[in-house]
Amino acid sequence: MNIKITGDLVINKSYTLDSDVIDFFKNSDLNIVNLEAPVTTTTSKIIKTGPHLKSDIELTRKILKELKVDLVTLANNHVLDYDHQGIKDTLQFCKDYDINTVGAGTNLENASKTFYFDTSVGKIGIVNFAENEWASATEKRAGANPMDIIDNVRQIKESKLKADYLFVIIHGGHEYYNLPSPRMQKQYRFYAECGADLVVGHHTHCISGFEVYKEVPIYYSLGNFLFTSDNKNDDWYTGMVLEIEIKDHNLTTKLFPVQQQKSTFGLSMLHGREKDIVLKRVSAYNKIISDKKSLYKEWKKLVDNKYNNYINRWSAYAYIKNRYVSGVLRRLGFTGLNIRAIAAQLNLMRCEAHADLSKEVTQKYLEDN
């Protein structure tokens, strides 16, 4: 049994696929792709930070057919960009072209369903969920299956009772950071302890490393697969396809690097020296991941690097649209920050009880306005 899993796919501009990419997927029994953007024509957007993404209908249909995609994972931070209708259209699009879906739905009950494949090697279950960033489904609202440790573990344990092999695919992590945070490693390992036979991550737009924890492979990020948007980060254009082989009750995994060309978005498999360079990078990340102190050291570097960016988000000046006004205020020494306010905001995030209310109140405010 041969299975392929990729990272993020967004097609809204023309692209090309090298023949070796098409052949690589053609020789697979099961292909799984993360469909990162809704396939819809609606123009109704949700209120959010960051870009609103949309997939081109015909180009997306074409590539899913070319790659013989059997299942798309939809639990990601962009699936709800075009509101309930965007998700409804995406689900209908997939149904029309006989493509299975997992990880999103018209409500939480539908979004959190496990998908099962009956295969020659047994039943394979796919659990898919995403970090809570603008797209999470609720009992009444469409969206992605949200990351919630209790719900996720319950789903994993219940699904494992029905499946011979259970794959957990997670959309999360820190963008353009090639390593998991210590929290991510602890959490993904816990999912492995609770019944996952494989854990796979994407979202960061860059490749990461992997480890085998208690005989369970954990791949922290496959990077982009094909994402037809220009980006200043070179890592945006390098991704990995994970190949899984199941034979004689043994599960083995292997990485195959891919490269998309800037501006033309031509996608090809990497070979020879170029392939070796990517795999050596992965090996270097693996070494850090395997050492708790090294992983924490790299994490602290990221915290230091992001310090000003994140602390300034708590400043009232971050939301002044006129950059000249905000610039003058900053030059005069007015930061818009207050130590007591920062302490209170930390408590609203850190304390579970306060966080519960903070999320509900702010969500209600957005819905009412």
Q: In the chain, what are the domains?
A: 2-291 (3.60.21.10), 313-368 (no CATH)
d(CA 91, CA 70): 14
* Whether the Cβ atoms of residue 135 and residue 77 lie closer than 8 Å to each other: yes
Q: What is the mean pLDDT of the chain?
A: 95
Percent of the chain with pLDDT strictly greater than 70:
100
d(CA 258, CA 284): 18
What confidence tens digit (pLDDT) does each residue in 15-56 have?
999 999 999 999 899 999 999 999 999 999 999 999 999 999
d(CA 343, CA 313): 14
pLDDT interval class at 212 (50, 70, 90): very high
d(CA 167, CA 154): 14
- Provide the pLDDT for residue 352: 81
- Provide the pLDDT for residue 313: 80
d(CA 230, CA 222): 19
**Can you tell me the mean pLDDT for 84-105?**
98
3-state DSSP assignment of residue 110: helix
Q: What is the 3-state secondary structure (H, E, C) of 345-359?
A: HHHHHHCHHHHHHHH
Residue 7's Cα: distance from chain center in Å?
A: 8
How many C-alpha atoms does 312 have within 13 Å on its Cβ side? 12
Dihedral pair phi/psi, residue 214, rounded to 5°: 50, 45
- Provide the pLDDT for residue 342: 87
- Provide the pLDDT for residue 267: 98
pLDDT interval class at 124 (50, 70, 90): very high
